[in-house]
């Protein structure tokens, strides 16, 4: 039996807890949150004990693994402590707020001999899996370009206060929501990012970006366009994948559709339980890793997403395109936007 703990009993904790309850060799043993009532609301349906201090939970609850589900800048200290206590870790996205923190997490878990997996949920959502199946089947040929558009809401009061703190969240809509777009688009596109340009905007008087656009070229030449907009007229979350012999559109609202030779077919109809299913498949993957399996999503992919978001901030701040070096260093091309051909 794997004894699992959760740190952070906020918005997504219930998805993790309900997933644990469906896996036969997993027991949700303990939940920690600074707010005891939040910990209790996640723990009590499953009979788990509660804590307000995660170090006390690590010391007393006899855990094998922990899910870190807290504000982004806290992921580092919690992963380092978990590694020190010999616990395997599943960390919510984004992995951390700096690339250096990602590296420290990877190194600490490697040195301690524990598994580190990042919750890149896009790789487990049923409609995304359906799109990936079509791509892998080969009928549409190579991916040529991807357009990824997602709306969100970063108006004051729409989410917990820490999301508006650059120090705690590492950024705004692009770090939080754009990270999902990058996760799936880099996956569908099939290669890491080579170069990018970006534009970010702070509206509603909040200190982090509320809207942003990133134009990326992957190392295989695929072009990706990511746009995240706050408080848009219509709620949208759609990836459009343009391939040699057709297109795929993929959305949690309308499912996954394939268009080729003038005909459209649906390969995934959205279901109300799709999001919960994604969290379940993600946890199943994590538990397999504890049994010696390879994670579906590498920590390098998760680290790359943080690196790309931070490079986007740099590009937006300097109004200049960036090339990502093999080590991930983002180097300005030295051209200002108006000079780019
Ligand atoms: N995979 C997804 O689709 C998805 C969706 C939403 C959020 N997330 C990610 O999940 C993480 C948490 O986001 P959320 O929306 O649940 O945030 P949230 O604010 O709702 O919950 C965070 C919780 O952490 C607790 N917390 C803060 N500091 C703590 C500490 N030192 N010890 C114990 N508990 C502490 C807070 O009290 C709060 O209850 C973030 O990384 C976020 O980006 C992922």
pLDDT tens, position by position, 232-280: 999 999 999 999 999 999 999 999 999 999 999 999 999 999 999 999 9
Domains (ranges, CATH) in the chain? 2-119 (3.40.50.720), 123-270+303-331 (3.30.360.10)
Q: Kindly report the pTM of this predicted structure.
A: 0.96
pLDDT at 339: 32
**% of the chain at pLDDT higher than 70:** 96
Provide φ and ψ at 337, rounded to 5°: -50, -45
Q: Give residue ranges with CB within 6 A of ligand 1.
A: 7-12, 32-35, 38, 54, 69-72, 74, 92-93, 119, 121, 160, 176
Structure confidence at residue 69 as a pLDDT band (50, 70, 90): very high
Containing 70, the helix (H) or strand (E) segment is none
What is the three-class DSSP state of 3? strand
Provide φ and ψ at 313, rounded to 5°: -60, -40
pLDDT at 307: 97
Distance 69 CA to ligand 1 centre (A): 5
Containing 121, the helix (H) or strand (E) segment is none
Structure confidence at residue 333 as a pLDDT band (50, 70, 90): low
Structure confidence at residue 213 as a pLDDT band (50, 70, 90): very high
Cα–Cα distance measured from residue 87 to residue 62, given in angstroms and rounded to the nearest whole number: 10
pLDDT at 228 over 70: yes
Which string of b and e fits 182-216 if b means at least 16 CB within 10 Å? bbbbbbbbeebbbbbbbbbeeeeebebbbbbbbbb
């Amino acid at each position: 039996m794997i004894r699992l703990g959760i740190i952070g009993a906020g918005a997504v904790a219930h998805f993790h807890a309900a997933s644990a309850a469906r896996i036969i060799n997993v027991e949700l043993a303990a939940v920690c949150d600074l707010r005891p009532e939040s910990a209790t609301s996640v723990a009590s349906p499953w009979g788990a004990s509660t804590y307000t201090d995660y170090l006390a939970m690590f010391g007393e609850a006899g855990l094998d693994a922990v899910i870190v589900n807290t504000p982004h800048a806290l992921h580092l200290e919690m992963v380092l402590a978990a590694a020190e206590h010999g616990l395997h870790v599943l960390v919510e996205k984004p992995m951390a707020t700096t690339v250096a923190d990602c590296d420290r997490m990877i190194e600490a878990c490697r040195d301690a001999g524990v598994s580190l997996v990042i919750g890149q949920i896009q790789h487990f959502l049923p409609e995304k899996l359906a799109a990936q199946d079509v791509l892998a089947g080969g009928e549409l040929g190579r991916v040529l370009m991807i357009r990824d558009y997602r709306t969100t809401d970063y108006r004051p009061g729409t989410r917990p206060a820490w999301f508006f703190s650059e120090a705690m969240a590492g950024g705004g809509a692009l770090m939080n929501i754009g990270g999902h777009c990058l996760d799936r688009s880099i996956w569908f596109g099939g290669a890491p990012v080579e170069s990018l340009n970006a534009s970010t905007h702070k509206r509603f008087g909040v200190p982090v970006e509320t809207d942003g656009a990133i134009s990326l070229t992957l190392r295989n030449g695929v072009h990706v366009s990511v746009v995240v907009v706050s408080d848009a007229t219509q709620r949208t979350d759609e990836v459009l994948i343009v391939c040699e012999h057709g297109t795929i559109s993929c959305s949690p609202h309308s499912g996954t559709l394939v268009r080729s030779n003038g005909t459209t077919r649906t390969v995934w109809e959205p279901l109300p339980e799709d999001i919960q299913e994604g969290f379940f498949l993600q946890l199943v993957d994590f538990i397999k890793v504890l049994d010696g399996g390879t994670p579906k999503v590498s920590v390098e992919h998760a680290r790359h997403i943080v690196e790309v978001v931070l490079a986007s901030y740099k590009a937006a701040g300097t109004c200049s395109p960036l090339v990502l070096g093999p080590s991930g260093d983002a180097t300005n091309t030295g051209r200002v936007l108006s000079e780019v051909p």
